[in-house]
Amino acid sequence: MGGEQVQQAVEHSLAVLRTAVDGDWEGVKAGRLEWSCRETAEHVASDLIAYAGQLAGRATTTWVPFEIDMAECERNADVLHVIETTGALLTAVVRTTPREVRAFHPYPFRWADREGFAAMAVAEVLLHTHDIAEGVGLPSSSHVPPVALCESVLARLFPHVRPGDAPWATLLWATGRGDLPGRAPVTEWRWSNPLHIDAGRIVLQGVHPAAAADLAEGGTGGFEWIAGGPVEGTRIGAGLVFQAYEAGVHRPEWGMFVLVRKEDGLAVGALGYHGAPDEEGRVEVGYDLVEGARGRGYMTEALGALAGWARERSRERGDVRSLFAVVDKANSPSQGVVSRAGFEKVSEDWGDGEHGEQFAYELRLRV
């Protein structure tokens, strides 16, 4: 998801809305919104320039304090020209922003990277184009966006939503704009950019379903890896993430993270949960490192940071009580990792057979 997708979404919007440019946009509401069609179009332009400003200005704690004034846009065509211009600005900013840059966005984790801002922009453009088209009475078949854009938005911003066979209908349903057979109406919704967790020399970058699918199929997941990566365990874990997404049971904050080294932006391994906490509040973790990154303490830092995030989550919501890990008896380096992270051995014989081949460890976050 990048500048090309932003440009494609804006071009789709312009092509649709120019067919109704001579209509009354101020006198009718946009779809189910309280805004008029004119206000909604201005909102699209405002979002595009705001996202460009956040990325270009590297804002980290709040919105960059500026906005555009469209008081002199007398005609609907003038507003569309502003959308075209702000779309071009965001496209350029996304293309030139380094991958590791993050900027402030209030939901859900107080930041987004260039891919996140691109995805949010595409969503805003597609959805509000639909709202305006509905408000001015265009037939629904006239403003169906490209399938690939809808799939990308769903996989990146709605990882908790089962995708289904109709991406556009699913996106409309997920944002309270339509109905889907067998699914309850949506009255409140939020999108979800991947969680990033700082861990000293590395950053744990959450893997969204689109990246997970690419990793599982032999790709890089959009990351630059050190030689030898990603390893097979990472690909297997990514496949499980995507399967959970397709089944509608994926919970992104309890998913998979790629370990990215700060000094050079290269991925060195992966770490993650095997799913959301069970009824007892226990969640299992697993991890692996590319061979060339082993023995340097990266995973100790990463697991410690992940445990810290889970402990904070336990204080705030109480849905997780302990972390659980199993380690092969022959894997002494991995045993050292969990021990240094504060895990305690709870079983000497975990696994199948009379004498299990693994040790089991647990880290209690609260009693």
State the chain's maximal CA–CA distance in angstroms: 80
Task: Provide the pLDDT confidence category of residue 345 given band limits of 50, 70 and 90.
Answer: very high
Task: Provide the pLDDT confidence category of residue 353 given band limits of 50, 70 and 90.
Answer: low
Would you say the C-alpha torsion 314, 317, 318, 322 has a positive or negative sign?
negative
Tell me the C-alpha distance between 270 and 283, whole Å.
17
Among candidates 328, 325, 331, 332, which has minimal Cα distance to 346? 325
Among candidates 166, 190, 162, 192, which has minimal Cα distance to 178? 166
Q: What is the pLDDT of residue 356?
A: 65
Residue 7: DSSP 8-state: H
Q: What is the pLDDT of residue 315?
A: 86
- pLDDT of residue 2 exceeding 80, the answer is yes
Q: What is the pLDDT of residue 109?
A: 84
Among candidates 75, 124, 71, 120, which has minimal Cα distance to 94? 120
Do residues 265 and 222 touch, judged by C-beta distance below 8 A?
no
Do residues 332 and 358 touch, judged by C-beta distance below 8 A?
no
Going through 71-164 in order, the beta strands assigned E by DSSP cover 102-103, 112-113
pLDDT digits (tens, 9 = 90+) for 162-202: 998 899 999 999 999 999 999 999 999 988 989 899 998 99
Q: What is the pLDDT of residue 48?
A: 97
Is pTM beyond 0.75? Reply is yes
- pLDDT of residue 351 exceeding 90, the answer is no
Domains and CATH numbers, the chain: 3-174 (1.20.120.450), 196-364 (3.40.630.30)
Tell me the C-alpha distance between 173 and 248, whole Å.
14
